[in-house]
Structure 1
Amino acid sequence: MEDKAIVISEDHYNALGVIRSLGEKKIPVILILTTKPGHTYTNKSKYVTEVIFTDHDQKKIIEEVKKLCKNQGRYFIFPLSDFSAMLIDQNYTLFDKNVVCPNMKGNMMIYQNKVNSKNLAIKCGMKSAKSMILKVSDYAKWSEFPAIIKPLISQEGVKSDITIVDNSQELVEALDKFRTRNYTRVLIEQYLAGKDEHMVEVLGCSFGENVFIAGIIKKIREYPMKRGSTSYAQIVQEHKDIEYETIKQFIKLSQYEGLFDMEFKYVDGRCYFIECNFRNGAPAYAFTLSGCNLPYNWILGKKIKN
């Protein structure tokens, strides 16, 4: 039975990295693009055998997956956005037995809420910055600065909405902007700053009770600065105040199976949990180039488990 991959993604370099990782291992890739047709680039990859444009039509995406998987072969699904990851999780029981997809047994909405993820991280022994859920009208309930404001659930906004504020006046102005974008609530956190501050990502994959960690991305530069994507980084196997066992415990307790990317901020000798992305991490192709192909390893691991 031939193995095939279905990648569900927006037009993003994360998708290109997964497509290359699989294509280089001779896995045919079918691409479901949730971006509208136009000036897209991921569908131009030589490893893409078929492309389907769906926008964010949830019903159409599920129907297309079910239709594709009626053909011969074993299909491994790679949702690469928070939207598609939760959609697949909510519908994973609808697919035929020849379909393998990442899931959290239908409970991903719980841990896509950043407060719930932070609480689980603390339970597992990780540190986390002070934070609270803030209604966009509750200016006076937060008084620690600098602070960072972000969507409580990633799907409720976009990464560019993340805002750093240095005082109460900037907080009022920022919350007003969030209100005009139809937010009713946000997550506000203490913005951690200090000696040798940098972002850290831990990438891996889970097969139920077995959790594999490929390594750590130590970010040296991001663009845009302080809230952007990795532009220069180093792969390391160890990092001060990162304990693999606490990360494995987090993944096991969440009951997640699939690729993951856990983010931390290092400051003043300590690492603080930021969030866990229940999907492939955007820098993962760097691991493929170094000899650890996470998307392909997940396929191999699922085949062994099954």
Structure 2
Amino acid sequence: MYKNHLVIVFAIDHYNPLGVIRSLGENGVRPIYIAVRHRVELGVKSKYASKVHQVDSVEEGYTVLMENYGEVYKTGEKPFVLFSDDKSVGYFDTHYDEVKERFITYNANNTQGRIMEFMDKKNILDLAKKHGLKVLDSYVCNRGEVPEGIEYPVITKDINPNAGGWKSDVFVCHNEEELKVAYGKISSPVVMLQKYIEKKTEIAFEGCTVNKGQSTLIAIESTYKYAIPAYYSPFMTCKSLHDEKLKASLEGMLAEIGFEGIFEIEFLVDKNDEKYFLEINFRNATWSYAATRAGMPLPYIWVKGMLNGKIDRDDYKEVPGGFTAMVEPIDYAKRIELGLSNPWEWLADFKKADCGFYYSENDLEPFYEMVRNWDKLS
């Protein structure tokens, strides 16, 4: 509870909501957790969750939320609801008119469906161009269509993160034949074909925003220590954002959308160090807990900022460029698989990392659960 407001984390169980729960719990707020069952129990094992409801779907979780907490606002303060996956965000955004009088939660201009509007990859790329950011050439088409004049290679993406199989719909195609084969495996009915370039790295910015995007904190800028084609790297270096022009563009986009919530903004960096905007995730993202370990617990800062109407300047902390974070089982699997490390080198990096996404010396049970389920999580 924060100032008599219940705080509820609603998410598909994963190390991402585990980070949200820890970010709140380490700051004296023990949230209620509505957990949609996934591969392994993680957030539900955290000592910081005050109460856990386990459900089998986002829809069932929504029913549990409404039945147990939907009337709290009538006799007390509105509960907060925080998210860390696209499906939950999208579901609540399409039901926002029903929840906005009952809960304080992520929204865009207090308007139902507006977050979903900018989950659309074409809409968000158009907005990025409007705010002066470079984007990759892209085509939007129905699954099976081959646009005239398309230049290969291309990478396939769902038009929005809830449209198909997400990462399972991502393919790099070097010619029309490969594209047609990919179409046979893609589940989304509408597909974005984007120019594929060999990346040097990716950048992810973690932050939160209140007052319809008018007050924003961009906490960390994460870059990957090694590149994996068509995949993210689970070992990263974090630092502060000092590019004021880029910062102004990102804040301008969030203000135009009118977003209130926790976010991640992703860029691709090519071999010439050119940055290309990719997308905004309108939710707490996987790397957010690194910001907590760097002194900026975004879930706690967002809850506080929503009540205050602004984010306190003192909530910003400078992050030294050598700060490292690691998704332990995935990083081990990828680095060994790619021949980038041996087990002893990896163990040394694990011990030196400033942030683990499973390991926390003050909340060990999720880490033990990771060890017991290593093969499922790597």
The alignment partner of 2:251 has SS state of: helix
SS in 2 for 1:33: strand
d(CA) in 1 for partners of 2:195, 2:295: 37
TM-score, length-normalised on structure 1?
A: 0.89
Matching residue of 1:185? 190
Amino acid at match of 1:206: T
Identify unmatched segments of 5+ residues in structure 1.
none
> Quick check: 87-96 or 264-273, which moved more?
87-96
Identify the residue that residue 17 of structure 1 maps to in structure 2: 19
Moved more, 266-275 or 229-238: 229-238
Q: What secondary structure, in the 3-state scheme, does the structure 2 residue paired with 1:21 have?
A: helix
**Aligned pairs (5 A) from 1:235-246:** 235-238=238-241, 243-246=246-249
Distance apart, 1:151 and its partner CA = 0.7
- Report the Cα distance in structure 2 between the residues aligned to 1:290 and 1:54, rounded to whole angstroms: 32
1:271 to 263, 275, 278: 275
Deviation digits for residues 173-195 of structure 1 (CA, Å, limit 9, x no counterpart): 111222xx3x322111001226x
- Structure 1 partner of 2:61: 61
> Which residue number corresponds to residue 173 of structure 1?
181
Match of 1:199 in 2: 202
| Aligned CA distance change for structure 1 residues 143 and 241 (closer, same or farther; 3 Å) | farther
Matched ranges for 1:103-142 at <5 A: 103-104=107-108, 105-106=111-112, 107-139=114-146, 141=148
Question: Which residue type is aligned with residue 239 of structure 2?
Answer: V
The aligned counterpart of 2:223 is 218
Worse-matched range after superposition: 162-171 or 67-76: 67-76
Matches of 2:167 and 2:77 in 1, distance apart? 36
Q: What residue identity is the alignment partner of 1:144? A: E
Asked whether 1:150 is paired with 2:157, we answer: yes
- Aligned residue among 213, 228, 231 for 1:228: 231
Which residue number corresponds to residue 250 of structure 1?
253
Seen in structure 2, the aligned counterparts of structure 1 residues 167 and 95 have a Cα distance that, compared at 3 Å, is closer
User: How far does the alpha carbon of each residue in 1:185-210 deviate from its partner, in whole angstroms, 9 at most, with x for none?
Assistant: 2111001226xx11001111111211
* CA deviation profile, 1:126-166 (whole Å, cap 9, x unmatched): 11000011222213536312211011111012223211112
2:328 is matched with which residue?
none
CA distance in 2, matches of 1:50, 1:90: 26
TM-score by length of 2: 0.73
> Which of 65, 81, 102 is the matching residue for 1:77?
81
How far residue 238 of structure 1 moved from its aligned partner, in angstroms, is: 3.4
Residues 22 and 272 of structure 1: is their aligned pair in 2 closer, same or farther, counting only changes over 3 Å? same
**CA RMSD of superposed structures (Å):** 2.2
Summarize deviations over 1:227-269 as a string: whole Å, max 9, x none.
3344111112237797100000000111111111010001122
Residue matched to 2:331: none
* Structure 1 CA distance for aligned equivalents of residues 128 and 300 of structure 2: 28
Q: Partner of 1:139: helix, strand, or coil?
A: coil
CA contact (8 A) 1:206 1:259 kept: yes
| 1:30 to partner: Cα distance | 1.2
- Residue 280 to residue 242, structure 1, CA distance change in 2 (3 Å): farther
Aligned length: 297
In structure 2, C-alpha distance between the alignment counterparts of 1:231 and 1:239, rounded to whole Å: 24
- Aligned match of 2:167: 159
State the AA in 1 paired with 2:301.
N
Q: Give the 3 Å change call, closer, same or farther, for CA 257–23 of structure 1 in structure 2.
A: same
The whole-number CA distance in structure 2 between the counterparts of 1:242 and 1:165 is 34
Is 1:50 matched up with 2:58?
A: no
Comparing both structures, which one devotes a greater share of its residues to strand? 1
Number of the residue aligned with 1:26: 28
| Corresponding letter in the other structure for 2:98 | L
Q: Percent identity?
A: 27
